[in-house]
Homo-oligomer: A and B are copies of this chain.
Amino acid sequence: MIQVPSLILDIEKCKRNIETMALKAQKHGLIFRPHFKTHQSLEIGRWFKDFGITKIAVSSLEMALYFSEEWNDITVAFPTNILEIERINLLARKIQLNLLVESIETVQFLSQNVDYPVGFFIKIDTGYHRTGLLPTKINTIDEILKTSMASKNLNFKGFLAHSGHTYTCNSKADVLKIHSQCVNELSILKKKYVTMFPDIKASLGDTPSCSLADNFGSIDEIRPGNFVFYDLMQAKIGANNMDQIAVAMACPIVAIHDDRNEIVIYGGGVHFSKERLESEKDGVIYGRIFERKGNVWGNIVPDAYVKSLSQEHGIVSIPGDQIKNHKVGDCLMVLPIHSCMTANLMKRYKIEGRKDILMMNSQ
């Protein structure tokens, strides 16, 4: 029985999300290298093996170490942190490790300090302006490649992008416009360098594009992560339907205030994270409520939403007479804004009728 805020996983929905993306990659002849930062779980990772997946992406070297127990081709999709050179060598000795490079300083450091073969992608900024080189920076790209070729352990793998600016889109058309620019820019780079490096790949990663696009041009690899659970943020973009969301928080009701139509739940920023969503009708929200009928996840309750979060409290706005259906000691089911951040805080998944699924750093 649920006693404290708990992250509930619907295994069937999750496996269906994996299957859908795996079949899509197959249909388009793409390497499917799922990003495991969303679920951070060896057990959930194994579900991908049923679809022939052998390569993954992660967001830190710590996570690469955790998954290296069962996976031997891992891309750390984060700019290389040269301070972790010991971990890099530990991993490079054990598995096919791929790193991201976007500066001459980093490739110089790696060329002098890696003791085993390491692959690297050059990170390209396709408009998100978070990390990566603009595709016009050919001189820097050339210098990175020149530096890497002087090292016997550095192997150029190709160009990698993450169009994270799709996360602020509000329509499929907007996502596809960004995606198409990304495909175009990576294709031009690949074409320019493929004669010199015949095996290079072009890799892209955002869940909205991977969910919505049907044209991948000369892209070789996709690295979506969030699709494994989806969430309200992706639903707002149009990347998923509500019934594809595979995780929800079960939160005990600790107080009911009918005079202001609000329910206080045990479930705050330390459980959900403080990710927020601008909702057209309700302003800033931190989650949505759905009905639960036994083991079946029912409909979204219209006009009910998490209005605010403090450290351990959540305040849920419940319209009209519906507040009378709830009492102290019940649990409310809440869909998270950003499933990656919520899972990262909760550290384990509860499933009806079986033992919990553990994550990296589970207690």
Cross-interface CB contact of A273 among B4, B60, B274, B312, cutoff 8 Å:
B274
B59 in contact with A312 (CB, 8 Å): yes
Q: How far is the CB of A214 from chain B (nearest CB, A)?
A: 27
Docked pose: A311 CA to B340 CA in angstroms: 8
Q: Does A45 contact B (CB under 8 A)?
A: no
Other CB < 8 Å A-B pairs besides A78-B266, A269-B275, 4 of them? A1-B83, A37-B311, A102-B255, A164-B310
- A-B CB contact pairs (8 Å), 13 listed: A4-B62, A59-B311, A78-B266, A79-B255, A83-B329, A103-B256, A105-B329, A109-B328, A130-B264, A130-B315, A269-B275, A270-B341, A361-B363
Residues of A303-350 at the interface with B, using a CB-CB cut-off of 8 Å, are: 308, 310-313, 315, 327-329, 340-341, 344-345
List chain B residues, Cβ under 8 A from A208: none
List chain B residues, Cβ under 8 A from A82: 328-329
Q: How far is the CB of A136 from chain B (nearest CB, A)?
A: 11
Q: How far is the CB of A345 from chain B (nearest CB, A)?
A: 8
Q: Does A192 contact B (CB under 8 A)?
A: no
B83 in contact with A3 (CB, 8 Å): yes
List chain B residues, Cβ under 8 A from A235: none
Docked pose: A79 CA to B78 CA in angstroms: 41
Docked pose: A315 CA to B82 CA in angstroms: 18
Please name the 10 residue pairs, one residue from A and one from B, whose CB atoms are nearest each other, closest first.
Answer: A79-B254, A3-B83, A274-B274, A79-B255, A105-B328, A82-B329, A59-B312, A83-B252, A81-B266, A81-B252
Docked pose: A59 CA to B273 CA in angstroms: 17
Q: How far is the CB of A224 from chain B (nearest CB, A)?
A: 14
Q: How far is the CB of A243 from chain B (nearest CB, A)?
A: 25
List chain B residues, Cβ under 8 A from A129: 260
A4 in contact with B254 (CB, 8 Å): no
Bin the interface of chain A by size. Answer: 35 or more
Q: How far is the CB of A289 from chain B (nearest CB, A)?
A: 18
A344 in contact with B131 (CB, 8 Å): no
Q: Does A147 contact B (CB under 8 A)?
A: no
Q: Does A80 contact B (CB under 8 A)?
A: yes
Q: Does A150 contact B (CB under 8 A)?
A: no
Q: How far is the CB of A279 from chain B (nearest CB, A)?
A: 17
Cross-interface CB contact of A313 among B130, B255, B266, cutoff 8 Å:
B130
Residues of A1-36 at the interface with B, using a CB-CB cut-off of 8 Å, are: 1-4
A215-236 toward B: CB 8 Å interface, digit per residue (1/0)? 0000000000000000000000
B83 in contact with A341 (CB, 8 Å): no
B328 in contact with A103 (CB, 8 Å): yes
Docked pose: A17 CA to B222 CA in angstroms: 50
Chain B residue, CB-CB nearest to A83:
B3
A78-109 toward B: CB 8 Å interface, digit per residue (1/0)? 11111110100000000000000011011001
